[in-house]
Structure 1
Amino acid sequence: MKKKITVLPGDGIGPEVTKAAVSVLDVIAEKYNHEFEYTYAKLGGVAIDEYNTPLPEETVKVCKESDSVLLGAVGGYKWDNLPGHMRPERGLLGIRKELELFNNLRPVVAFSSLSDSSTLKKEVIDGVDLLILRELTSGIYFGQPSERRQEADGEAVVDTLYYKRSEIERIVKQAFELARVRRKKVTSVDKANVLESSRVWREVATEIGKDYPDVELEHMLVDNAAMQLIRDPKQFDVMVTENMFGDILSDEASMLTGSLGMLPSASLSSDGPGLFEPIHGSAPDIAGQNKANPLAMISSVAMMLKYSFGLQEEAESVGNAVNTVLEQGHRTGDIAKPGEKVLTTTEMTEKVIEVITSNVAKTVS
């Protein structure tokens, strides 16, 4: 198999974890006889510095011409004072919109070997395996108007939460399809007691649920969902929600794994390249120090292999390697307990590659 991959290292620790991911992809290509061709482009703060825009046209072009896109991270203190349309995050929102990446998959799996890294009790998080689907290309992050206004009695501000019914339908349908091959339960998260958009969301989820009689549907208000994720996360299978709620809940859910550095994500369209990225930020305070945890980025590679390329065996090889290195006790600083040896980004990546290489050799023999 030959595939074109656009690599967007981005800002902060993005280049470090992206380098780790490409190293893993190279090993997969070598061991399974594939060919991955990489094109590097700029997005976010580094693009602002060079092109005076967070999303250059050339970046959009090469992404659309690729089979898949790998993204490190965007943002940092350096660009915090820029106006909204020039912030690095606008580049991320823009590429999602350009590629029509409406379906954001964020798996949350609690590794038993990391149970002590979470601030929650072991019995609460052991066995957690849930999937958050976040609608990614509409809602309050994209609605217009979004602006500051000067009114007669002083400054005011407005952001608009906007959805088409069709945009809600397509993400909710994806949730039911995925639940069918998991534990057959969908939790639709909204704020229907306050927001008209959420009342429509709930209506759509109920209508679509009738087409999936084998899948249980429950509705849950977002504030209750935030509490339930901490109180009893094992009750959830597939959660589906709008853009901002999904952004917040998935970051909260990262603490079930002990670190934001452990969660990958996939952003998919109906037809076109997917985008794969860790959900952690750019962590500028440790950028360039070889301290970042690469496992979320490496797990994003596993999602790319599975969802973009249909390479199930290769995806499992990467996922199993991540689990194995954790079981072996290898840790980066964010998941290490006091007194444990702390590996660098490079060292943790090498451990993953060693396991992949060893497992593939055993399979071949």
Structure 2
Amino acid sequence: MKIAVLAGDGIGPEIMVEALKVLDALRLPEVTLWQGDVGGIGYHRHGHPLPPETLEMTKAADAVLFGAVGDPTCDTLERHLRPEQAILGLRQALGLFANLRPAQMFAGLEDLSALRPEISRTIDLLIVRELNGDVYFGEKAIRTLDDGRRQGFDFMSYAEDEVRRIAHVAFRAAQGRQKKLTSVDKANVLETSQLWRDVVIEVAKDYPDVQLSHMYVDNAAMQLVRDPGQFDVVVTGNLFGDILSDQASMCVGSIGLLASASLGETQTQFGTKGLYEPIHGSAPDIAGQGKANPMAMILSAAMMLRHSFGREAEAVRIETAVAKALADGIKGADLGGTAGTSQVGDAVVARL
């Protein structure tokens, strides 16, 4: 089992240590860890946020465990040299088009949500976000008009095959859950969204056991705080998915609890090749202080075991240990507790 470990910037190295500590405690056979530089540290050491040697390492690995990127010292660099370009480059190079972001309320944390406890405790959903299209990858520029005014533009587009493949991922995910899929778009004003909706309806014919509904993105944002329990699986494009998944994280109390998987179509001898990362950023303001909550990183390792290595039992063990630690009051500062980064990791290991 070859795992490329890319800790990255800020709190990335600290939380990665705890995730690897948990993996080590499982005593998995024949695990090879390859360490690589990425993000700001990649730029400072190699002159690029995604050095060629790191990229080649990820291509040879069965899965990528990714910490976080973001370095304030790189904010003035040209855009293609900024740390955040590393993750975009990896998604493209590895063909990672499907981002899975589960959001579930852990028992005992209901009061930490911005929502009322009776509402927050109903949250158990999965957001499936398309990763390789939309305005993030379309043509973009700032230009000067004939009258001297500056104008910025970003080109939003999806081809039908891009929509079809993410729709299949979402429908299959729904089949493994409550068989309900909500497709989120803005088809009332965007032609890109109209195509999205048309293709999702076509794909639905292959999954008669899944109940499909459609929702405009503005309504979806409202419904996530009004009645999040109505959602099972949500599928949407890159831009809308970026926003809604972060909103869902705060509905469950902290961005430090949410893991994610980015999957493609490449199959290894174990499962689907993917990249796994917490959805939070590098948090440079608390880096090196032992304050970061590593639970999202640890839960990302659990998703890696499930999707890339077919080790469901071990994935469930990790998730159960995290839930038990939280129920026992092991909480970092983001959850109003006092446990440090290593203390949280030790607590999860103890409950394995």
TM-score scaled by structure 2?
0.96
- Which residue is 1:291 aligned to? 291
Taking the aligned partners of 1:344 and 1:112, their CA distance within structure 2 comes to 21
Q: Which residue of 1 aligns with 2:11?
A: 13
From 155, 168, 189, give the equivalent of 1:160: 155
Structure 1 residue 150 displacement after superposition: 2.1
Instruction: Tell whether 2:44 aligns with 1:49.
Output: yes
The CA distance in 2 between the partners of 1:50 and 1:159, in whole Å, is 32
**Deviation per residue, 1:201-230 (Å, 9 max, x gap):** 000111111222211111100011011001
Q: Supply the distance in 1 between the matched residues of 2:79 and 2:135 (Cα, whole angstroms).
A: 14
Deviations 1:73-104 (A, max 9, x none): 01132222222222111111000110000010
Moved more, 238-247 or 84-93: 84-93
Among residues 343, 346, 350, which one is paired with 1:350 in the alignment? 346
Say whether the 8 Å CA contact 1:76–1:283 is kept in structure 2. Answer: no
The residue type equivalent to 1:40 in the other structure is: Q
| Contact 1:44–1:74 under 8 Å retained in 2 | yes
1:332 corresponds to 2:301? no
SS of the residue 1:349 aligns to: helix
Q: Which one-letter code corresponds to 2:300 in the other structure?
A: S
The correspondence of residues 170-189 of structure 1 with structure 2, limited to 5 A, is: 170-189=165-184
Matched, 1:149 2:149: no
For 1:225 and 1:249, how far apart are their aligned partners in 2?
8
RMSD, aligned α-carbons = 1.0
CA distance in 2, matches of 1:155, 1:283: 33
Q: Which amino acid aligns with 1:130?
A: L
Q: Which residue of 1 aligns with 2:117?
A: 122
CA contact (8 A) 2:303 2:315 kept: yes
Structure 2 residue aligned with 1:35: 30
Q: How far apart in 2 are the matches of 1:205 and 1:348?
A: 41
Equivalent residue runs for 1:57-96 within 5 Å: 57-96=52-91
* Code of the aligned partner of 2:176: V
C-alpha distance in structure 2 between counterparts of 1:314 and 1:5, whole Å: 16
Counterpart-to-counterpart distance in 1, 2:68 and 2:21 = 17
In the other structure, the counterpart of 1:360 is none
- Among 190, 195, 205, the alignment partner of 2:190 is 195
| Kept after mapping to 2: 8 A contact 1:106/1:133 | yes
Q: How many residues align?
A: 346
Equivalent positions of 1:226-237 (< 5 A) are 226-237=221-232
Measure, in 2, the Cα distance between the counterparts of 1:318 and 1:34.
Answer: 17
Give, in whole Å, the separation in 2 of the partners of 1:141 and 1:190: 16
Residues 273-312 of structure 1, C-alpha deviations (whole Å, 9 max, x = no match):
2100000011011000010000000000110010000001
Partner of 2:100: 105
- Does 2:270 align with 1:268? no
In structure 2, C-alpha distance between the alignment counterparts of 1:279 and 1:97, rounded to whole Å: 18
What's the secondary structure of 1:186's corresponding residue?
A: strand
**Partner of residue 254, structure 2:** 259
The structure 1 segments of at least 4 consecutive aligned residues displaced by more than 3 Å after TM superposition are none
The whole-number CA distance in structure 1 between the counterparts of 2:56 and 2:144 is 38
Matched AA of 2:3 = I
5+ residue gaps in structure 1? 357-365
CA displacement 1:141-170 (0-9 Å, x = unmatched): 1112x1111222222111111221101000
Q: Distance in 2 between matches of 1:211 and 1:181?
A: 15
Q: Which residue of 2 aligns with 1:321?
A: 321
1:218 equivalenced with 2:216 (yes/no):
no
Percent of pairs with identical residues: 51
Aligned to 2:24: 26
| Structure 2: unaligned runs, 5 residues or longer | 268-272
CA contact (8 A) 1:26 1:36 kept: no
